[in-house]
Amino acid sequence: MKILITTGIYPPKIGGPAQYAKNLKETFEKMGHITGIKTFTIEDNLPSGARHLFFFFKIIPALLFADVVFILDVFSVGLPTVLACKIFGKKGIIRTGGDFLWEQYIERTKRKILLRNFYQTEKQNFSFKERIIFRLIKWTLNNASKVIFSTDWQRNIFIKAYKLHPEKTEIVENYYGSKQSDNGFESKTFIASTRNLVWKNLDTLKGVFGNVGVKHPEAILFTDNLPYGQFMDNMNKSYAVALVSLGDISPNMILDSIRCNKPFICTKEVGIYERIKDAGVFVDPLNEREIGAAVLNLLTDEGYEKAKERVKSFNFVHTWDQIAKEFIKIYQKL
């Protein structure tokens, strides 16, 4: 097969979607498929609209020779790719990531709205631009050949918000690798590397560690973003992982911590809760006291050992080979 993957970011850019695109491409190629990548380059410096138009024309030559296009984004590359697929009669399958509109809204308003409540409580407060984005996302999702979600949690939110037909959707779980290490910690560093965005809720986490540090100055919060190799080196030497965002679908940092057998504190507002609920500690991201209590408990010998046992007992695996085969099977059923 000739496969085209469109993605907003790709290595050397940093981020979970970039790693997902890279691994999916390499796996398709290992299976014998001819696989191309189209991603943002100069588009990053263009305003919205111009960026979409430029990308639309850029992908046409590759799209014409593709049997199927896998689209790893809903709006940025999703809109122009689905439009091109419609015009040229190609099968375009979207794999959703996060929620672009919710993220943009939270950044604009600085209000801490949980993702699961967003479409129920905030639609009437959308700006003119956000109303346009909402309609464009709705068109994109409903005009894709299929929409793949990594969790039922996000699928249910999107089906209701964007009036999606359930039969148009599929679930392909994220990558769950086999255990790769079980190192001790070099310091009591909690890894919380993420973008400094309102919905990531870092201010709350920093506030918690400010209070915890009064009695436990050894507790360190690490928030820097690093290239993936360096990030995993830090993960292997760390004490634990902390993620308290207002809504995460299937966060790679938590899945990385599981593979490294690192205890983790995770937001309850997470799409993979049912899969990993027995592996970690879960907190209300809007409850600073609850987050603080979880951190303090992990800093005790007993609390840490129990958390370590929980994460070590998690052994579910979902490989890139399985993911790629599920993508192909979805295409073949169209």
| pLDDT value of residue 15 | 80
What DSSP line would sit under 239-280, residue for residue? SEEEE--S-BSS-HHHHHHHHTT--EEEESSBTTHHHHTTTS
- Does residue 238 fall inside a structural domain? yes
| pLDDT value of residue 114 | 98
Answer yes or no: are the C-beta atoms of 264 and 240 closer than 8 Å: yes
Q: pLDDT tens track of the chain, all 334 residues?
A: 999 999 999 998 878 889 999 999 999 999 999 999 999 999 999 999 999 999 999 999 999 999 999 999 999 999 999 999 999 999 999 999 899 999 999 999 999 999 999 999 999 999 999 999 999 999 999 999 999 999 999 999 999 999 999 999 999 999 999 999 899 999 999 999 988 899 999 999 999 999 999 999 999 999 998 888 899 999 999 999 999 999 999 999 999 999 999 999 999 999 999 999 999 999 999 999 999 999 999 999 999 999 999 999 999 999 999 999 999 999 999 9
- Does residue 183 fall inside a structural domain? no
| pLDDT value of residue 273 | 97
Answer yes or no: are the C-beta atoms of 313 and 17 closer than 8 Å: no
- Does residue 104 fall inside a structural domain? yes
Q: Which two tokens stand for residue 318?
A: 């979902």
Mapping DSSP to helix (H, G, I), strand (E, B) and coil, where does residue 169 land?
strand
d(CA 6, CA 76): 10
- Does residue 82 fall inside a structural domain? yes
- Name every residue whose Cβ is closer than 8 Å to that of residue 163 and which is 6 or more positions away in sequence: 138, 142
Domains held by the chain: number: 2
294 and 234 fall within a common domain: yes
- Name every residue whose Cβ is closer than 8 Å to that of residue 244 and which is 6 or more positions away in sequence: 201, 204, 205, 265, 266, 267, 283, 285, 291
Element (H, E) at 51: helix 50-64
Task: Compute CA 127 distance to the chain's CA centroid, rounded to the nearest angstrom.
Answer: 25
- Does residue 180 fall inside a structural domain? no
The residues pairing with 35 across neighbouring beta strands, listed in sequence order, are 3
232 and 145 fall within a common domain: no
Report the CATH number at residue 121: 3.40.50.2000
Answer yes or no: are the C-beta atoms of 81 and 92 closer than 8 Å: yes
| pLDDT value of residue 16 | 81
pTM: predicted TM-score of the whole model, two decimal places:
0.93
| pLDDT value of residue 123 | 96
231 and 305 fall within a common domain: yes
Which of 185, 292, 170 shows the shortest CA–CA distance to 236? 185
For the chain, the residue count is 334
- Does residue 38 fall inside a structural domain? yes
| pLDDT value of residue 178 | 95
Domain membership of residue 146 as a residue range:
2-175+319-332
- Does residue 132 fall inside a structural domain? yes
- Does residue 109 fall inside a structural domain? yes
